[in-house]
Amino acid sequence: MTQLSGGADTRRVDDRVSRAVPDRAILVIYRPAAGRYEAQFRSVVAAATELGVATVALLPTGQPAAEAAGLACYHADLDDSDTVRSTVATIVATHPVRRIFPLFEGDVLTAAYCRRDHGIPGLDPEEALAFRDKNVMHRRATELGVPVARSCRPDTVGAVAEFAAEVGWPVVVKPYAGWACGDTHRVDSAADLARVWPLIADARHDYRVEEYVRGAEYHVDSLLRGGEVVFEQLSRYTYSVLEFRDEPGGTVSRKHDLTSAERRILAANATVLRGFGMRTGVAHVEFFLRDDGELVFGEAAARAGGGSIVPAIEAGRGINLAGEWCRLELDPGHRDGRAGGRVLAARRAALHRGLDPRGDHRVGGGAHLHRRPCSGAPRRQLHGPQRRRAQLRAAGRADGSRLRLAGPGAPAGPPAAPADPGGRRGRVRGSADPTGRPARAVARRAGHRQSLTPTPPHRAGTSRSAAASRATPSVIRAAGSAAYPIRKVGAVGGRVTK
Interval 375-433: pLDDT, tens: 333 333 334 444 444 444 444 433 333 323 233 333 334 444 444 434 433 333 333 33
Q: What is the mean pLDDT of residues 450-470?
A: 37
**CATH 3.40.50.20 segments of the chain:** 2-122
Q: What is the mean pLDDT of residues 244-256?
A: 70
Which range of 245-259, 403-417, 453-467 scores highest in mean pLDDT? It is 245-259
Confidence check: pLDDT of 122 > 60: yes
Confidence check: pLDDT of 468 > 90: no
Confidence check: pLDDT of 347 > 60: no
Confidence check: pLDDT of 196 > 60: yes
Determine the pLDDT at residue 402.
33
Least confident among 95-99, 148-152, 306-310, 327-331: 306-310
Residues of the chain with pLDDT > 90: what percent? 53
Confidence check: pLDDT of 312 > 60: yes
The Cα 378–Cα 474 span in angstroms is 9
Confidence check: pLDDT of 340 > 70: no
The CATH number given to 214-497 is: 3.30.470.20
Least confident among 306-315, 420-429, 433-442, 444-453: 444-453
Confidence check: pLDDT of 444 > 60: no
**CATH 3.30.470.20 segments of the chain:** 214-497
Determine the pLDDT at residue 371.
33
Question: Angle, to 10 degrees, between the axis of helix 125-132 and the axis of helix 134-143?
Answer: 100
Band (238; pLDDT cuts 50, 70, 90): confident
Per residue in 58-108, pLDDT (tens digit) is 999 999 999 999 999 999 999 999 999 999 999 999 999 999 999 999 999
Determine the pLDDT at residue 249.
66
Per residue in 18-33, pLDDT (tens digit) is 444 579 999 999 999 9
Determine the pLDDT at residue 180.
61
Determine the pLDDT at residue 346.
43
Per residue in 158-190, pLDDT (tens digit) is 999 999 999 999 999 999 997 666 789 999 999
The Cα 182–Cα 368 span in angstroms is 27
Confidence check: pLDDT of 322 > 70: yes
Radius of gyration of the chain (CA): 23
Band (125; pLDDT cuts 50, 70, 90): very high
**In CATH, which of 3.40.50.300, 3.40.50.720, 3.20.20.105, 3.40.50.20 is domain 2-122?**
3.40.50.20
Residue of 28, 216, 240, 198 lying closest to 114 (CA atoms): 28
Determine the pLDDT at residue 251.
81
Residue of 204, 236, 193, 282 lying closest to 427 (CA atoms): 236
134-211, CATH topology level: Dna Ligase; domain 1 (3.30.1490)
Residues of the chain with pLDDT > 70: what percent? 60
Band (248; pLDDT cuts 50, 70, 90): low
180 backbone φψ class: left, alpha, beta (φ>0; ψ -120 to 50): left
Which one has a higher pLDDT value, 376 or 228?
228
Determine the pLDDT at residue 311.
87
The Cα 113–Cα 231 span in angstroms is 27
**CATH 3.30.1490.20 segments of the chain:** 134-211
Determine the pLDDT at residue 372.
33
